[in-house]
């Protein structure tokens, strides 16, 4: 690793020794920048890496709320405003067990480079709380969201910080948070994206991350002499990203045969019945086992074993570090051609190395899942201009954006990567250069 980057990662390891996920993301990014830093020795004079790796601001606060029995519950919430050099902070809110500062710092760092790849003027941010919506009533979810916004409202705004959805935060939670923000501030503005279509949402935003992932994958396969036609795909997760990745994979000719949730996975050799899966997991908030029961297909109560299902294409779309070295080795052994990340950092460092060593096409999440935030960029534009886009316009633009991101990442891989398919380094270098140049132009801030 470049000496400057090595010094910075060593300092981060000492200072944030307990933040494993943040250090993992930082290490991957810094180790991708050897050629960039060789060409730009001036970055060290500007202390650019030290500044980039430190969030501009972190807000941590308590969220007290009343459960249905009248008892006061308390959660911890965060908003990490990581980098605003190219636009207002932008990134999702995550509600799930175990959310902590390390998770949200890694996500906000990834988001900073991802947003730079989209071409929109969006900085990087992420937030969330250690609140698990599973098993909570509608009233409990609403009271939690309202209490969270009663503090967070003063730190966000359409030109300041624009949250959206992520794990555990979908249309329902965005609606409650937007409603409370509007009530407190008296302003109807584009302060959130992922909003409902009747109050400023963008048609196609719900589908955009999964669809965008497949557009990126399709471009990557074509560039390397393959196509999606007839390919068997394994998709982890069955949430917002996974469901629409599976749906678009079908439309582009592939056959998704397995999906998971946090309890287990199902295999359906005839192809997952995606409308049934959407009905169970999105509309009814059910469990994936209900799919296995309804279709009489195998169910395995170990989600991480999904990577042992033989396939041509793997789409990790659930959560960070869900695909480890054992999973990567199983995929390689079974002849996988491509791995495209719908989730953020779903692949451990050892698994990334395994794919690289075996010349597997590997699309890193900060590039391949950028379709969601790109469509959020369209939603912000729509709200600012009081415009309306049709679903068709959005999908066409999304496809163009994803193809363009692939082209830029692929070009950057040629220049800065270890090989022409080193898309991990390509994405890191391309995103970093955009942010770095903006930071230098804006002086010591």
Contacting positions for ligand 2IT (CB under 6 A): 90-92, 111, 114, 164, 166, 193, 344, 372-373, 376
CA nearest 158: which of 369, 442, 382?
382
Other Cβ atoms closer than 10 A to 404: 15
For residues 164 and 217, which CB has a smaller minimum distance to ligand 2IT in the complex? 164
CA nearest 94: which of 216, 32, 177?
177
For residues 194 and 312, which CB has a smaller minimum distance to ligand 2IT in the complex? 194
Least Å distance between CB 189 and ligand NDP?
Answer: 20
Alpha-carbon gap, residue 247 to 275, rounded angstroms: 9
The residue of the chain with the least Cβ separation from ligand NDP equals 239
Which of ligand NDP, ligand 2IT, none has residue 237 at its interface (CB below 5 to 8 Å by kind)?
Answer: ligand NDP
Question: Per-residue DSSP letters for 181-204?
Answer: HHHHH-------SS--GGGT--TT
For residues 21 and 312, which CB has a smaller minimum distance to ligand NDP in the complex? 21
For residues 245 and 254, which CB has a smaller minimum distance to ligand NDP in the complex? 245
Reduced to 3 states (helix: H, G, I; strand: E, B; else coil), residue 97 is coil
Least Å distance between CB 43 and ligand NDP?
Answer: 28
Alpha-carbon gap, residue 177 to 191, rounded angstroms: 10
Which of ligand NDP, ligand 2IT, none has residue 84 at its interface (CB below 5 to 8 Å by kind)?
Answer: none
Which of ligand NDP, ligand 2IT, none has residue 193 at its interface (CB below 5 to 8 Å by kind)?
Answer: ligand 2IT
Least Å distance between CB 342 and ligand NDP?
Answer: 5
186: left (phi over 0), alpha (psi -120 to 50) or beta: left
Least Å distance between CB 230 and ligand 2IT?
Answer: 30
Alpha-carbon gap, residue 202 to 414, rounded angstroms: 35
Alpha-carbon gap, residue 45 to 268, rounded angstroms: 56
Cα dihedral: 89, 94, 99, 102 (round 10):
-30
For residues 90 and 281, which CB has a smaller minimum distance to ligand 2IT in the complex? 90
For residues 110 and 312, which CB has a smaller minimum distance to ligand 2IT in the complex? 110
Which of ligand NDP, ligand 2IT, none has residue 148 at its interface (CB below 5 to 8 Å by kind)?
Answer: none
Other Cβ atoms closer than 10 A to 206: 22
Q: Name the residues that contact ligand NDP, by CB under 6 A.
A: 165-168, 209, 236-242, 260-263, 303, 317-319, 322, 342-344, 369, 372
Least Å distance between CB 303 and ligand NDP?
Answer: 4
Reduced to 3 states (helix: H, G, I; strand: E, B; else coil), residue 170 is coil
For residues 125 and 303, which CB has a smaller minimum distance to ligand NDP in the complex? 303
Indicate which residues carry an active-site annotation. 126
Alpha-carbon gap, residue 111 to 148, rounded angstroms: 22
The residue of the chain with the least Cβ separation from ligand 2IT equals 92
Contacts of residues 221-228 at CB distance under 8 Å and 24 or more positions apart, as own/partner, are: 221/337, 221/338, 221/361, 223/406, 223/410, 224/361, 224/421, 226/337, 226/338, 226/361, 227/253, 228/252, 228/253, 228/254, 228/313
**Phi/psi of residue 273, nearest 5 degrees:** -75, 95
What are the structure tokens assigned to 150, written together?
A: 């009663």
Least Å distance between CB 111 and ligand NDP?
Answer: 9
Which of ligand 2IT, ligand NDP, none has residue 262 at its interface (CB below 5 to 8 Å by kind)?
Answer: ligand NDP
- Which positions ≥6 away from 224 have C-beta within 8 Å? 361, 421
Least Å distance between CB 373 and ligand 2IT?
Answer: 4
């Amino acid at each position: 690793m470049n000496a400057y980057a090595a010094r910075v990662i060593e300092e981060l390891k000492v200072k944030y020794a307990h933040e494993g996920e943040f250090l993992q993301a930082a290490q991957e990014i810094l180790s991708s920048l050897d050629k960039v830093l060789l060409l730009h020795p001036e970055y060290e004079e500007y202390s650019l890496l030290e500044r980039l790796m430190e969030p501009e601001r972190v807000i941590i606060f308590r969220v007290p709320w009343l459960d249905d029995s009248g008892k006061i519950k308390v959660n911890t919430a965060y908003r990490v405003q990581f980098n605003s050099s190219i636009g207002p902070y932008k990134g999702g809110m995550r509600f799930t067990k175990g959310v902590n500062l390390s998770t949200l710092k890694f996500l906000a760092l990834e988001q900073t480079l991802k947003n730079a790849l989209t071409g929109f003027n969006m900085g990087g941010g992420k937030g969330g709380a250690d609140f698990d919506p599973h098993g909570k009533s509608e009233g409990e979810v609403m009271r939690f969201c309202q209490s969270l916004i009663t503090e967070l409202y003063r730190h966000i705004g359409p030109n300041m910080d624009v949250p959206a959805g992520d794990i555990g935060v979908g249309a329902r939670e965005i609606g409650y948070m937007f409603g409370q923000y509007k009530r407190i501030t008296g302003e109807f503005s584009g302060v959130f994206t992922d909003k409902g279509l009747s109050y400023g949402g963008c048609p196609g935003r719900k589908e955009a991350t999964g669809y965008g992932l497949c557009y990126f994958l399709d471009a990557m396969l074509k560039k390397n002499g393959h196509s999606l036609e007839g390919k068997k795909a394994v998709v982890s997760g069955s949430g917002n990203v996974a469901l629409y990745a599976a749906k678009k994979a079908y439309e582009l000719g592939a056959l998704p045969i397995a999906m998971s949730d946090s309890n287990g996975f199902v295999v359906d050799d005839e192809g997952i019945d995606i409308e049934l899966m959407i009905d169970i997991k999105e509309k009814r908030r059910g469990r994936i086992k209900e799919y296995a029961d309804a279709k009489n297909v195998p169910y395995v109560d170990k989600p991480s074993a999904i990577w042992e299902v033989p396939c041509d294409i793997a789409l990790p779309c659930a959560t960070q570090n869900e695909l480890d070295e054992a999973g990567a080795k199983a995929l390689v052994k079974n002849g996988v051609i491509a791995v495209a990340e719908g989730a953020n950092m779903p692949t451990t460092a050892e698994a990334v190395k395994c794919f690289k060593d075996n010349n597997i096409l590997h699309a890193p999440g900060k590039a391949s899942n950028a379709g969601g935030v790109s469509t959020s960029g369209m939603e912000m534009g729509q709200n600012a201009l009081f415009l309306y886009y049709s679903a068709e316009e959005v999908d066409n633009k999304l496809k163009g954006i994803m193809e363009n991101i692939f082209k830029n990442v692929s070009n950057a891989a040629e220049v800065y990567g270890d090989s022409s398919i080193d898309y991990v380094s390509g994405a890191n270098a391309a995103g970093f250069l955009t942010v770095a140049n903006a930071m230098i132009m804006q002086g010591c801030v």
